Structure 1
Amino acid sequence: MQHVRSHKTMLTSALLAILLFVSLMLPASAATWNLTGDTNVHDPSYIVENGTGTHWVFSTGEGLQVLWSSDGKHYNRSLPIFTSRPSWWSQYVPNHTGLDVWAPDIFYYNGTYYLYYSISTFGSKVSAIGLVTTNSISGGVWTDRGMVISSNNSTNYNAIDANIVQGHNGKLYMAFGSWSNGIYVTEISTSTMKPTGNSYRVATKSGGIEGPSLVYNSNTGYYYLFVSIGTCCAGLNSTYKIAVGRSTSPFGPFVDKNGVDMKNGGGTVIDSGNSAWVGPGGQDVYGTNVIARHAYSVAENGAPKLLISDLYWDSSGWPYFN
């Protein structure tokens, strides 16, 4: 019996060693974080504040909604960014009323936090992207920097859903746009943080495309364009999915895993939801290792909720998460 027990002990130790080795070699299942607290959001933009380590999430809603967390897991709702309308809103989007603000993007650059956002009305190209700044998110004091780019019925693009990235050359680029007019990219000034020249279309998709997130991964040498395809904002009837393509240039062409140009409808789907979460989209990639997005909770009858996951890259240089 002693011999048998010794044999079992050796076998157990060997199995444990194998499991430990595997756990060290593989990522933690590209884990989706276990979030608690107030996590109701649409179109989240996520950042960790320098110095304080506080996790912040900005999202579509009245006055532009704000969540914060000390540990990245349990979230609380803070005061909105806007309590009154900047005067220029009515000039560029006359039909916009109230304080409904869409699709923010938070970007840190040279000691300042730049918060881009959109004002528009559903189904309209009369839109504008605005900008507010602060040196301390925790301080809660934001300065209005006015209109960044606007659109109307005669422009090629729709000026919503801004996202900023710093490229391999130190230059800054903004992706924006939606639906039949597609996604555009333009270079922005490092001093004004507003466009310096032309905007170039990089993606289209019949049936809906919006919410671009432009990411540069220095490890792979590619720019990645994450987009939301399908339709949003219909609860459990939403058809949003997250798709991606990549390019060696911020201006494209962005192609998917099959080599199809996103300007011609390409895009590799990396999240289409599951039995618990419907319509994932409105995504934001923080750095190159965290992705935030919203999805509709089946358990809560279609409530829009914040999801955050670790983002990983396979051996071929493509992103994935659980």
Structure 2
Amino acid sequence: MTATQAAAAVGAAALGEAAAWGGRHAHDPTAVRDDDGTYWLFSTDASGDGPLPRAGVQVRRSSDLVTWTFHGWALAGVPAVAAAWSGASGLWAPDVVRVPDAVPVPDDARWRMYYSASTFGSRTSAIGLATAPHPAGPWADRGLVVTSRHDADGPNAIDANAVVDGDGRHWLVYGSFFGGIHALELDAASGLVLGADGPSAGPGVLLARRPHAVEAAVEGAFVLPRPGGGYALLTSFDSLFGTYHLRVVAGPSVTGPYADVRGRSATDVAADPVGSVVLGGHRLAGGRGWLAPGHASVLTEPLASGGARQLLVHHVRDADDPAKHEVQVRRLAWTAGGWPLVSPQPWAGAGREVDDEAAWPSSVGELAGTWEVVGFTRGDAFAASATRAVGPDGPAGARALGRGRFSWDGASAPVEAVVFPAWDAVRGRATLAGAALDTATGVVTVGTRVGADR
């Protein structure tokens, strides 16, 4: 058997092993949609069952964002230059984006993938770039973009997020533990750091950081535009296998400055932890326990009826077996004040979800019923649910602010809420779900209506 035949046999065996995975073993996921409407999921080379069958960025495809079919790997393995720099045996946290049509690039480079190469506990790391004509590939490695060394101060060069701002400037937001989250401007045509002849050592503009007392545990950044202007920054905090959770801050530009709803700066280590917890570990009554949700991306796609749908794509662990992880997708919606909140229910597919906001609740009376709620405070505990009754007049002082958007009187400041039709995954039926942000405390509560008392 030739070396080429041997490599092909290994690849076939690996694909056969992964064929039954579905959405399992997808860690640090990002999803995109191609021009034909097929969804593609890219994730870290990881397996909760033991050794990896192979490396090169896992790729899955789906027609509904619910059922995933394993497609293979984007690359043949860890590119040689990335392996030589970092010693990585697998690739982490890919971010995949389509280059805007206004940017002149070759047809075979319209899609970009920024991948990370590192090893646990080290910041001798690198972010590399690969390009392709389509999410299905073929992907070609283009070399390293940003590097870091363990013995040098600064951010860890992993967890890339490519962002194009409203002025058409391209940015790479990156960083994980150690040195915080930073942003570097990219050359739109090449995808490399602007003004750099080769890999950049950064660091760029500091966006967020945490104190060394908590191991500077902030990572997995994702930036998205706010409906009223400015940007929201989603990051994951704390321990990957236990207290991992997702927080949000906002700022006027991709480079910040970012602050939470209480006005606390994302770079102020004395104020730690900064940001509202939009998703943490929890268990709904009668359902599975979900532990350590995080490293999220947001899929934004236009709707045929107009407007856009936004979905949070993240990994989560089985509370009863934390080594086992899988991908989940949840609706993301914005409060009237411009804060992104997410559904307590996993996405059930277009046939069960209602995207048309004209059909979302528009009066406080429509919220009446019994709700199962979960409050995310610090995210450092596994949250159980409780029930809460909402009367025919809604919560105290409730006001409708448009389809799906509400506000009511909190203890010392308004509560901003968004409510929408959803599918109750535990009870298997259509209902309402939503989330509420207390603007005084920053606490987010998510809820599912389990009884319509009206």
TM-score for both structures, normalised by structure 1? 0.82
The reply to whether residue 279 of structure 1 matches residue 292 of structure 2 is yes
Picking from 203, 206, 210, the partner of 1:205 is: 210
Report what 2:104 is aligned to: none
Report what 1:66 is aligned to: 59
The reply to whether residue 141 of structure 1 matches residue 162 of structure 2 is no
What's the CA shift string for 1:5-59, capped at 9, x where partnerless? Answer: xxxxxxxxxxxxxxxxxxxxxxxxxxxxxxx943331100111112x21111100
Amino acid at match of 1:220: G
The answer on whether the counterparts of 2:98 and 2:111 sit within 8 Å (CA) in structure 1 is: yes
Report what 2:148 is aligned to: 151
The answer on whether the counterparts of 1:205 and 1:229 sit within 8 Å (CA) in structure 2 is: no
Q: Distance in 1 between matches of 2:175 and 2:23?
A: 29
Residue 196 of structure 1 deviates from its aligned partner by 1.5
Amino acid at match of 1:53: G
In structure 2, runs of 5+ residues without a counterpart are 1-20, 46-54, 102-109, 196-201, 284-288, 301-308, 344-454
Matched position secondary structure for 1:88? helix
Q: Distance in 1 between matches of 2:141 and 2:290?
A: 36
What's the CA shift string for 1:74-97, capped at 9, x where partnerless? Answer: 10111111224422123422x33x
Amino acid at match of 2:336: S
The reply to whether residue 216 of structure 1 matches residue 225 of structure 2 is yes
The reply to whether residue 258 of structure 1 matches residue 251 of structure 2 is no
Q: Are the structure 2 counterparts of residues 121 and 135 from structure 1 closer, same or farther at C-alpha, using a change threshold of 3 Å?
A: same
The answer on whether the counterparts of 1:39 and 1:75 sit within 8 Å (CA) in structure 2 is: no
In structure 1, runs of 5+ residues without a counterpart are 1-35
Matched position secondary structure for 1:78? strand
Q: Percent identity?
A: 30
The reply to whether residue 106 of structure 1 matches residue 114 of structure 2 is no
TM-score for both structures, normalised by structure 2? 0.59
Q: Are the structure 2 counterparts of residues 122 and 300 from structure 1 closer, same or farther at C-alpha, using a change threshold of 3 Å?
A: closer
Q: Distance in 1 between matches of 2:180 and 2:321?
A: 32
The answer on whether the counterparts of 1:120 and 1:127 sit within 8 Å (CA) in structure 2 is: yes
The answer on whether the counterparts of 1:149 and 1:159 sit within 8 Å (CA) in structure 2 is: yes
Report what 2:191 is aligned to: 193
Residue 298 of structure 1 deviates from its aligned partner by 2.9
Q: How does 1:299-310 map to 2 (within 5 A)?
A: 302-310=323-331
Point out the more displaced range, 75-84 or 305-314. 75-84
Higher RCO structure (Cα 8 Å, ≥6 apart) = 1
Report what 2:32 is aligned to: 47
The answer on whether the counterparts of 1:173 and 1:186 sit within 8 Å (CA) in structure 2 is: yes
What's the CA shift string for 1:127-159, capped at 9, x where partnerless? Answer: 000111111123x31111110110112241110
Amino acid at match of 1:277: W
Amino acid at match of 1:254: Y
> How many positions carry a matched residue from both structures?
277
The reply to whether residue 38 of structure 1 matches residue 51 of structure 2 is no
Q: Are the structure 2 counterparts of residues 38 and 318 from structure 1 closer, same or farther at C-alpha, using a change threshold of 3 Å?
A: closer
Report what 1:313 is aligned to: 334
Residue 299 of structure 1 deviates from its aligned partner by 5.8
Report what 1:293 is aligned to: 314
The reply to whether residue 225 of structure 1 matches residue 225 of structure 2 is no
Report what 1:56 is aligned to: 40
The answer on whether the counterparts of 1:209 and 1:229 sit within 8 Å (CA) in structure 2 is: yes
Point out the more displaced range, 296-305 or 70-79. 296-305
The reply to whether residue 117 of structure 1 matches residue 115 of structure 2 is yes
Shift >6 Å, 4+ stretches: none
Q: Distance in 2 between matches of 1:300 and 1:249?
A: 40
Q: Distance in 1 between matches of 2:225 and 2:130?
A: 24
Q: Distance in 2 between matches of 1:213 and 1:262?
A: 14
Matched position secondary structure for 2:257? coil
The reply to whether residue 245 of structure 1 matches residue 249 of structure 2 is yes
Amino acid at match of 2:85: Y
Root mean square deviation, CA, Å? 1.8
The answer on whether the counterparts of 1:101 and 1:117 sit within 8 Å (CA) in structure 2 is: yes
Q: Distance in 2 between matches of 1:56 and 1:299?
A: 29
Report what 1:92 is aligned to: 85
